[in-house]
Structure 1
């Protein structure tokens, strides 16, 4: 639809969501198509897995006293952000397709704001974890020396940034007063905002690459200069685990975020010529998968976290079968090892030989999640 220059500055606050969709040529299907069912089914499945996986991380960190350190507080907050992302994306799935035409503009903005808040908070948490690992490894510390007050302040800032980014489109950076600037992916959003959001996330990605690259160079130089001491095997294992973690972090981020970010960037730059509507929903599903990969990378690679997960699962099974008494969080540390031994059939000697237990040595400088 062409807009005359004489009315290009007119604001269309009274028009509904359907008007803006028709303006950019984004069709709202009258009925459910096979493509809609595929996207809905895949999206809700991913949301359920994201919710359960991140909830497990949060419970494990709360129950195990060994996780009461800054890095694990950040991991718990990241899990909370990813869990919220799953809920926000489920809300999007339940308000898409033919249901879109029933939404008011306020509901449409809320739907988009939830996604923006959750995904921005998730990316900010990834960056915070990268900064913490960078500071810890390069200073050869077991845990960060950040105080609880600083950790809380950092978490508050992460969510503040997420909320601000979620509210920006609905408050002032939209296309209701400039129809030529309307996005084809998100018809009420400004194309310039999408470019800004995509570039901001890409810059965050580059910062993470720089941090992990410096960690890799530092660890490799230390491994080459390592002396023939009893800690040499520990340093070698640290290098291998750190390399795997870096590869998984960067690979997951690129795979999950690049398609969506490039879609937004092309839509912002080219508009209808980008044909972004043909694949934007699938890109959003892939981006949401990053919320599922995060707990796997940062948590399941930690031996203690895996043992805590197994303890929780075994305890739930025993509770359902035997109605056992629930232990208190204070006693979880002593009960964890005993219950884990019974569930996974390992001897005490085998548990003591795991790499994680070497973290109790003063010579160990590896951090959690490495």
Structure 2
């Protein structure tokens, strides 16, 4: 609770001791936080919206991998549209929307973050099968199965958050609520359980899958290099394949590193409690956490040539033309 202090401006002056004090951050810090997170929010919404429109509109992009990218873009879009603006509002001003809107905001924000992590796990599993079992991939990973897994990801995120939110609220024994703030109070045991299910286990799965992919990619590259013949064409094809696989392995490593750098500090601070999350360091890790949803479409989509071609068709409004859904965006015509 933000206890009213002598001389402090109250959110609801007429309620006296029942009202919270306005956030104590300086004007410059408040403006800086608003500008930084607003920029991240706008960029997150824009980039993920481009991914959503691209994959949804063009039939040629309706593949299992791209459907996972679409699901990830939807969850990150919600992070940029709901989570980040909500954090800006409740950290820089009094919460005037009431407990119901606070609960709704908390639910949508946590579900979108959980779905984003779940989609990362699915994408890691998809790339693991594609690289480690390429012959089995077409028959194992189908569009129908991918849609079902995406449905399970969102369903489990909603169910878990619905169950966990029943024990989380504004009336804890060690927390006395006041009017004018939106605080999500979690006790230590529940916090550890939440971090384990929503962070430790998913991140462990992602790291293990990507490490396996990296090992297989390097092994395949070495194997092809050892079978280089004197034929110039064969030599060229082999070197090209080797460079492509090593580049893919490095990209996977970057993905894991960025994800860990964005998520680890935030969950560490969140587990430490409300007091630390309100410090300047807590605000920094919050910004870092929010940036992950902005970076995701960059590292998962902007590296694909089809995305750049799709964006060009979207920006020039060519997608409004009849038959644009059948446009060839995978190869240059």
Q: TM-score normalised by the shorter chain: which range applies? A: 0.7 to 0.9
Summarize the Cα distance change of 1:108–1:175 in structure 2 as closer, same or farther, 3 Å threshold: closer
Summarize the Cα distance change of 1:147–1:90 in structure 2 as closer, same or farther, 3 Å threshold: same
1:258 maps onto 2:264 in alignment: yes
In the alignment of these two chains, the number of paired residues is: 305
Structure 1 gap segments, 5+ residues each: 2-15, 339-370
1:302 maps onto 2:304 in alignment: yes
User: Per-residue displacement from partner, 1:209-233 (whole Å, max 9, x unpaired)?
Assistant: 1111011111111111112263412
How far apart, CA to CA, are the structure 1 residues paired with 2:329 and 2:105?
A: 44
Task: Identify the match of residue 58 of structure 1 among 52, 55, 60.
Answer: 52
Query: What TM-score do the two structures reach when normalised by structure 2?
Result: 0.80
1:206 — aligned with what?
204
Deviation at 1:301, TM superposition (A): 1.6
Question: Does structure 2 conserve the Cα–Cα contact (< 8 Å) formed by 1:120 and 1:161?
Answer: no
2:291 — aligned with what?
289
1:68 — aligned with what?
62
Summarize the Cα distance change of 1:80–1:62 in structure 2 as closer, same or farther, 3 Å threshold: same
User: Per-residue displacement from partner, 1:215-274 (whole Å, max 9, x unpaired)?
Assistant: 11111111111122634124212222212211220121122112101101222xxx75xx
How far apart, CA to CA, are the structure 2 residues paired with 1:211 and 1:69?
A: 21
1:232 — aligned with what?
238
How far apart, CA to CA, are the structure 1 residues paired with 2:141 and 2:283?
A: 40
Summarize the Cα distance change of 1:48–1:128 in structure 2 as closer, same or farther, 3 Å threshold: same
SS of equivalent residue, structure 1 residue 179: coil
2:277 — aligned with what?
276
Q: Which moved more, 1:41-50 or 1:161-170?
A: 161-170
Question: Does structure 1 conserve the Cα–Cα contact (< 8 Å) formed by 2:51 and 2:297?
Answer: yes
How far apart, CA to CA, are the structure 2 residues paired with 1:113 and 1:325?
A: 35
Structure 2 gap segments, 5+ residues each: 2-14
Task: Identify the match of residue 189 of structure 1 among 177, 186, 190.
Answer: 186
Question: Does structure 2 conserve the Cα–Cα contact (< 8 Å) formed by 1:134 and 1:211?
Answer: yes
Question: Does structure 2 conserve the Cα–Cα contact (< 8 Å) formed by 1:32 and 1:97?
Answer: no
Question: Does structure 2 conserve the Cα–Cα contact (< 8 Å) formed by 1:81 and 1:122?
Answer: yes
Question: Does structure 1 conserve the Cα–Cα contact (< 8 Å) formed by 2:114 and 2:157?
Answer: yes
How far apart, CA to CA, are the structure 1 residues paired with 2:49 and 2:163?
A: 29
Q: Which moved more, 1:212-221 or 1:146-155?
A: 146-155
User: Per-residue displacement from partner, 1:96-145 (whole Å, max 9, x unpaired)?
Assistant: 14643424222222222222111111111011000111111111247573
